[in-house]
Amino acid sequence: MTTRPSTAEIRADLLKRYPTGEAPGGVAIDDILQLRLQNTWDSHLDIARQMAVVMRADMAAYDADSSKFTQSLGCWSGFHAQQMIKAVKRLRGTAKGTYVYLSGWMVAGLRNRWGHLPDQSMHEKTAVADLIQEIYVSLRQADEVAINDLFKTLKAAKTEEERKAAIAAIDGFETHVVPIIADIDAGFGNEHATYLLAKELIKAGACCLQIENQVSDAKQCGHQDGKVTVPREDFIEKLRACRLAFEELGVEQGVIVARTDSLGAGLTQKVPVSQQAGDLASDYIKWLKTEPITAENPIREGELALYQGGEFVKPQRLPNGLFPFKENTGRARVIEDCVASLNQGGADLLWIETDTPNVDEIAGMVAEIRKQAPKAKLTYNNSPSFNWTLNLRKQVRSQWLAEGKIQAGDYPDGNELMKAEFDATDLGREADARLRRFQTDISARAGVFHNLITLPTFHLTAKSVDELSRGYFGEDKMLAYVATVQREEIRRGVSAVKHQHEVGSDLGDSFKEMVSGERALKAGGHANTMNQFAAE
User: Considering just the CA atoms, what is the radius of gyration of the chain in Å?
Assistant: 28
Cα separation, 241 vs 190, whole angstroms: 10
Cβ proximity of 350 and 357 under 8 Å: no
Contact 49, 2 (CB under 8 A): no
Residue 221 annotated among the catalytic residues of the structure: yes
DSSP bridge pairs for 381: 452
How far CA 444 is from CA of 64, 69, 198, 253, 370, in Å, comes to 11, 9, 32, 25, 14
Judged by DSSP in three states, 328 sits in coil
Write out 434-497 in H/E/C secondary structure. HHHCHHHHHHHHCCEEEEEECCHHHHHHHHHHHHHHHHHCCCCCHHHHHHHHHHHHHHHCCHHH
Among 187, 231, 194, 195, smallest CA distance to 212 is for: 187
Rounded Cα–Cα distance for residues 154 and 375 (Å): 48
> CA 73, CA 180: separation in Å to the nearest integer?
10
User: Is 235 within 8 Å of 351 (Cβ atoms)?
Assistant: no
Task: Give the pairing type, strands 306-308 and 228-229.
Answer: unpaired
219: left (phi over 0), alpha (psi -120 to 50) or beta: beta
Determine if residue 43 is left, alpha or beta; phi over 0 gives left, psi from -120 to 50 gives alpha, anything else beta.
beta
Q: What is the DSSP letter of 354?
A: -
Cβ-based neighbour number of residue 427 at 10 Å: 20
- CB neighbourhood size of 320 (10 A): 9
426: left (phi over 0), alpha (psi -120 to 50) or beta: alpha
Query: From the CB of residue 194, how many other CB atoms can be counted at a distance below 10 Å?
Result: 26
Question: How close are the terminal C-alpha atoms of the chain, in Å?
Answer: 44
Report yes or no: 362 and 351 within 8 Å, Cβ to Cβ: no
Q: Which residues neighbour 183 within 8 Å (Cβ) at sequence distance 6 or greater? A: 101, 102, 103, 104, 105, 107, 128, 210
Catalytic hit among 75, 207, 208, 221: 221
CB atoms within 10 A of CB 153: 16
Supply the residues annotated as catalytic: 221
